[in-house]
Each structure stands twice: as structure tokens, then as C-alpha cells.
């Protein structure tokens, strides 16, 4: 299991050759789930959005398409992810609509009350304390801003529980646990949805 463990552990912080392979797989492999999550967003027209734990940058790119008047910032604490996301969104970066930078969600170095929308796809599993990190997200959102979390695992499926045991530092949460942490961090109007046939969950919260 050594090589397999090394590979799947790249989901936490992609590095080196295996990290590059993982990032390429993330962009395509998670597309269906991410698009399902995006369908839950209300009819909003954000001027500024931030994608936290952006991975290979595909989901930031989808938001740039979805919101043609928006500026999207993508953040990841993996240097390799930042490079991949910059490559993926180079056209929009060149047009001044996108910025990709390295950062830590537990200590976001961003101005308060700046963003209308924040998203997190397949990433909160690795955040060091949900309430602490959610408080950071709340701080950078404007009043009324939306935070959307989309996960492939609902915390109860066998595959998710398997990877939690294999990948160091991974914690898979149920929708209820995420909702409770969001409320504790000061969010309101917290709702969640479960895919009818897959263990996917989407959680929406408003500041």
C-alpha cells in the first residue's frame, strides 16, 4: 500500500511528480461533483469571489465563466497547486480577472469584508479546525456574502472513511458537523443538500 498511500496523500498538499499527476486528475475527476455544487448557488452576481483550496484551478475557472463581471481570487497552500491553477487560468489572469496566490485558510491574509462569494471544493477535510477556519472565511466576506462547501464524501460512505484512515491529517465531516461549525463561526441561514445517488454534499451559509 506504500505507493498508493503516497499517491492519495497528495490530495492534502500536492508536491513533486505525483502531485502534478494528482492535480491533473483533480480537475477532471471532480468536475461533475463541483458542477453539481455550483448549481446550488442562488441567483447572485458577485463582484469578487474567492476559491479556497483551489487545487488545479478548474473551479475558479468555472466561476469566471459563470460570473462574467466577477474578479476571482484562487488560494491554495500548495505551491504546486498555485502554479497549476495559474497555468489553467492564465488567460483570465492576463485579462485582470483572476489572481492565484499561496495562502493558509487558517490565517487568511486578506482584507475584511471584501468578497461576495467564497467556495471550498473537496478541501475542508484538511483544514486545521473548522470553526477557526470558517471564522477566517466569515471575516473576508461582506455582510450577506455566501460561503459554499462541496464535498465528495458525506462522512458516512465507506470510500470516504477508507481514505480518512490512509491519509494523514484528513478528517471527513458530515453535513451536520459542517453546519454546526458554520453557525459557531457566525454564519446564518445554513442549509445543506445531499446528492440523491452519491455521497456528495453541498453546504451553503450566509454571513
Q: Which strands make up the sheet holding 48-52, listed edge to edge?
A: 98-102, 71-76, 48-52, 115-121, 141-151, 201-206, 188-194
Residue pair 121/130 in contact by the 8 Å Cβ criterion:
no
Longest dimension (CA), the chain: 47
Within 10 angstroms of residue 66's Cβ, the number of other Cβ atoms is 15
CB-CB contact of 66 with 1 (8 Å): no
pLDDT score for 167: 77
Q: Provide the pLDDT for residue 164.
A: 79
Distance CA 162, CA 79 (A): 27
Q: What is the mean pLDDT of the chain?
A: 89
pLDDT at residue 21, rounded to an integer: 55
Q: Looking at 13-17, 123-127, 161-165, which range is the least confident one?
A: 13-17
Cell of 104: 493558509
Q: Residue 67's pLDDT is what?
A: 98
Residue 190 is predicted with a pLDDT of 98
pLDDT of 16 reads 56
17-26 pLDDT tens trace: 454 555 666 6
pTM given for the model: 0.90
Indicate the fold that domain 2-206 takes in CATH: Rossmann fold (3.40.50)
* pLDDT tens-digit readout, 191-200: 999 999 999 9
Q: CA 137, CA 53: separation in Å to the nearest integer? A: 12
Please write the tens of the pLDDT for every residue from 77-111: 999 899 999 999 999 999 999 999 999 999 999 99
Residue 117 is inside which H or E element, if any?
A: strand 115-121
Amino acid at each position: 500500500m506504500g505507493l498508493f498511500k503516497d499517491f492519495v496523500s497528495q490530495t492534502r498538499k500536492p508536491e513533486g511528480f505525483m502531485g502534478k499527476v494528482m492535480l491533473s486528475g483533480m480537475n477532471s475527476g471532480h468536475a461533475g461533483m463541483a458542477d453539481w455544487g455550483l448549481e446550488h448557488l442562488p441567483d447572485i452576481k458577485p463582484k469578487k469571489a474567492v476559491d479556497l483550496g483551489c487545487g488545479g484551478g478548474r473551479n475558479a475557472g468555472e466561476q469566471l465563466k459563470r460570473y462574467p463581471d466577477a474578479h476571482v481570487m484562487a488560494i491554495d497552500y500548495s505551491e504546486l497547486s498555485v502554479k497549476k491553477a495559474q497555468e489553467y487560468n492564465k488567460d483570465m489572469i492576463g485579462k485582470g480577472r483572476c489572481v492565484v496566490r499561496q495562502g493558509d485558510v487558517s490565517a487568511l491574509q486578506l482584507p475584511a469584508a471584501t468578497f461576495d462569494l467564497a467556495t471550498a471544493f473537496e478541501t475542508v477535510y484538511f483544514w486545521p479546525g473548522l470553526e477557526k477556519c470558517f471564522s477566517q472565511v466569515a471575516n473576508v466576506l461582506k455582510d450577506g456574502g455566501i460561503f459554499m462547501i462541496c464535498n465528495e464524501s458525506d462522512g458516512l460512505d465507506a470510500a470516504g472513511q477508507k481514505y480518512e484512515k490512509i491519509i494523514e491529517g484528513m478528517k471527513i465531516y458530515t453535513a451536520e458537523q459542517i453546519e454546526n461549525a458554520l453557525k459557531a463561526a457566525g454564519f446564518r441561514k445554513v442549509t445543506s443538500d445531499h446528492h440523491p445517488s452519491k455521497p456528495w454534499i453541498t453546504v451553503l451559509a450566509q454571513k
